[in-house]
Structure 1
Amino acid sequence: MMPMRYPIRTCGLLLTCAVLAACGSQAPVDAPTPSAQTATSMNSESRQDFGATVVEIPKPEPKWDPYEDIATVDWTPMDLSSGKAWLSCDRDYEAKGDGEALVSLGFSSLWKQMQPCRDEGVVRIRYRGKISSDFTGLVQRVADMGDTLGIKSRILDIDSSGGQVEDAIRAGDAMAESGWMIWVREDAVCHSSCVLILAAGDMRMIAGPVGIHRMLRIGSKATSRAELNQELREIHEQLNLYLQRNGAATTIADLMMTVPNRSLRLLTAQELDLFGLAGRNAAEDDLDRIRLARKCGEAFVRRQDAFFRDYNLLCVTPGEEVAGMGECGRDLKQRYGFPDRNCPADGPLSEYD
């Protein structure tokens, strides 16, 4: 009987499978990783340097995003603990006062309290306290509920000595996208980070004192001037970006750095105007001009420009009460044909129509 012969290819395949089977039966062994010290010594002893030094790179800390969660309003139940707030559907604080006390920021509670404002088309929030996360929640929720109820005119009647920088930037960015007029009444103040809230308003009427100083992080861990300077540089960078996107002068951020946190520098009426913190917001004004030119025509825009020139000259004077500024503007509007017949809801100071 002839011996069975396998073709050469078949034998090679069987041998390969046997080797692979034998290898597969053994557990894989991880190759040892040389430590940084070992790798360095290997390089120093070798004639060729392959750059094998092992360096542990720390993971960068996530940077704070100023636009995070602005578009989405969180309606998780919360109370207003950093200050006191009152809600009114009337602009006349001299005759009507500050309104009803606002305690809960829950959806159903705020919905009930803002219902009467639907007929007037305006909601005024009188806030006295610190700038904090619950203040941010207050302005976000009032604006969101205003959108739900069709209340387009929102007034923040603020009295604040400041608070946390990051919360002021979050609140300001939220307000910049939701159409707020800001008052600093003759019996109120706006100091420190409250100035950032002013920068975000569409229209600012200021009768009370506005002051600035260095803004330090609460709970700072700085132990030297160098560490403190690094923190201040980071804050300064955030302030610059914030002021730029809201149409205010970055000079304010530089000026803040020269005033110790325990001190205060009051801004004059001329400085408020020069730095873009009073009157019409420059960024919003340019955006409105583009929108109004498309909707109401170039003649409408030129007439509105003429009104604001006279309004700033005749109605906004140092020491004037906020109520007087509004009444002066309301009467002055008639001389320029506002409210306009074709665009009645788009004229200047429409909050007073």
Structure 2
Amino acid sequence: MRLHWILIALCLLASACSRQPGPTLTSANAEAELDSGPVVQRKPQDAIDWSPVRLEAGDAWIDCSADYTLGGGRPLLSLAYEDLRRSLQDCRATGLMRLRYKGKVTASFAALMERSGKVAGDLGIGKRILDIDSAGGHVEAAIRAGDAIGENDWTIWVRGDSACHSACVLLLAAGDMRVIAGPIGIHRMIRLRSSATSRKELGEELRTVSDELRNYLERNGASDKVYDLMTTVPNRTLRILSVEELDQYGLSGANAVEDDLNRIRLARRCGTDFLQRRDAFRRAYDAHCAQAVDGETQDVDQMNDCGLALRGRFGFPGEQCADESPMAELDGAILMPRIAQDVPEEAPPDPTPTEQQSPAPATGNAKPARAVRVAPDSDDAPTPHGPSAGEDPAAEATEEAAAAEPDDVLPD
């Protein structure tokens, strides 16, 4: 009889071991499920899928300089690991890469951000700039790309000759630093091929992504008002955000979440005096460089030159923590000692054959450099600049933008 029960117990154990383990719920997930609130944390980047992929709705260029007035850089023709590594190899000398992208936010763009950040890290390229011009795209792809941006320390530029509309706005939430001269527009997300026949059905379709979107905005320090606009502004129109709104919504300047993490780290490494001087510089930069001068809107190159001229007043870059000084992404030479060491060759876990991309234009839209004026210290309040200077912040977009095909869609 005893042998009989032992055999039954062994069979039960074998059966349990043969089953596939079910999904486990972490304590953080359990808590989120109970109170239906988002968990505030940086989202770890998932393992990168290196399957062949093409940029189907945009073009990309790589440059190892922050001076975009000289052109867009070399066209990026392939997203395969080895091809990306070859494209970025020269940027080891400057410690900086500038990725210029013109097109829609799609799954292939998200792959571009994941892969370029990974390869830049493997090569020791610590400063990364996303120089973007996008009319929008897929919300879910923007969230995926934003998570890659947030985990790989990107500065985001929207130049005066560029724009960032609809789903592109979500990318701004994730950047460590956002330098904006072009128009930023937002509207309601929609699934163009929806099968919904009622408001209730349409709401149910969007509810799944809504929770993910709220969580994404909160963990990146952006305001819930961005979500509100993405659910209320009619899709056929475009709401252009003012400079004040961009700041209030956490979409411009230094990222508040990343800044908090940096303050803890920099206090230990560089001291409180460094932090105080950095804070003083940022206040001066916001007052003098991120504003219009003599009523004339500045572009990104002017804001950069203004900041570089201004920071010397605050002792930047100094010998101590030079690579952490404000606007260090523009100081390639400072970063050279950090990348001079040999970086071992690495390959992705599952290398795939090289995929070729359709040729992109050889250069971007080059424009002549303009003189930069640093505003003198005075009590006069500078005139705000930006996409909505001199116009009602709540105004709808121009007739051309309103008539454009809605592209802030959820993929089917």
- TM-score using structure 1 length: 0.78
1:296-311 residue pairs with structure 2 within 5 A?
296-311=270-285
Which residue does the alignment assign to 1:341? Answer: 319
Supply the AA of the counterpart residue of 1:75: W
Does the CA-based 8 Å contact 1:164-1:217 persist in structure 2? no
Which residue does the alignment assign to 1:90? Answer: 65
Partner SS state of residue 305, structure 1: helix
1:164 correspondence with 2:142? no
1:136-147 residue pairs with structure 2 within 5 A?
136-147=110-121
Q: Are the structure 2 counterparts of residues 315 and 197 from structure 1 closer, same or farther at C-alpha, using a change threshold of 3 Å? A: same
Q: Are the structure 2 counterparts of residues 286 and 117 from structure 1 closer, same or farther at C-alpha, using a change threshold of 3 Å? A: same
Which residue does the alignment assign to 1:28? Answer: none
Identity over the aligned pairs, expressed in percent? 51
1:257-268 residue pairs with structure 2 within 5 A?
257-268=231-242
| CA–CA separation in structure 2 for the residues paired with 1:296 and 1:71 | 32
**Structure 1 position 68, deviation (Å):** 8.7
Which blocks of at least 5 consecutive residues in structure 1 are unaligned? 1-12, 14-65
| CA–CA separation in structure 2 for the residues paired with 1:234 and 1:115 | 41
1:75 correspondence with 2:50? yes
Partner SS state of residue 157, structure 1: strand
Q: Residue by residue, what CA displacement relative to the aligned partner does 1:29-73 show, whole Å, maximum 9, x if unpaired? A: xxxxxxxxxxxxxxxxxxxxxxxxxxxxxxxxxxxxx99982322
| CA–CA separation in structure 2 for the residues paired with 1:244 and 1:204 | 17
Q: Residue by residue, what CA displacement relative to the aligned partner does 1:269-325 show, whole Å, maximum 9, x if unpaired? A: 111111110111111111111110011111111111111111111100252100111
Does the CA-based 8 Å contact 2:153-2:175 persist in structure 1? yes
Which residue does the alignment assign to 2:168? Answer: 194
Does the CA-based 8 Å contact 1:156-1:183 persist in structure 2? yes
Which residue does the alignment assign to 1:233? Answer: 207
1:177 correspondence with 2:155? no
| CA–CA separation in structure 2 for the residues paired with 1:219 and 1:140 | 28
Given the alignment, which residue of 306, 309, 326 partners 1:328?
Answer: 306
Supply the AA of the counterpart residue of 1:336: F
Q: Residue by residue, what CA displacement relative to the aligned partner does 1:74-116 show, whole Å, maximum 9, x if unpaired? A: 222322112111111111111x200011121111111111111
Does the CA-based 8 Å contact 1:67-1:170 persist in structure 2? no
Q: Are the structure 2 counterparts of residues 67 and 326 from structure 1 closer, same or farther at C-alpha, using a change threshold of 3 Å? A: closer
Supply the AA of the counterpart residue of 2:188: R
- TM-score using structure 2 length: 0.68
| CA–CA separation in structure 1 for the residues paired with 2:134 and 2:172 | 11
Structure with higher Rg: it is 1
Tell me the number of residue pairs that the alignment of Structure 1 and Structure 2 aligns. 289
Q: Residue by residue, what CA displacement relative to the aligned partner does 1:250-282 show, whole Å, maximum 9, x if unpaired? A: 111112222111111110111111111011111
Does the CA-based 8 Å contact 1:87-1:123 persist in structure 2? yes
Q: Aligned-pair RMSD on alpha carbons?
A: 1.9
| CA–CA separation in structure 1 for the residues paired with 2:205 and 2:193 | 12
Q: Of the two structures, which has the highest relative contact order with CA contacts closer than 8 Å and spacing of 6 or more?
A: 2
Q: Are the structure 2 counterparts of residues 341 and 67 from structure 1 closer, same or farther at C-alpha, using a change threshold of 3 Å? A: closer
Does the CA-based 8 Å contact 2:44-2:151 persist in structure 1? no
| CA–CA separation in structure 1 for the residues paired with 2:208 and 2:138 | 14
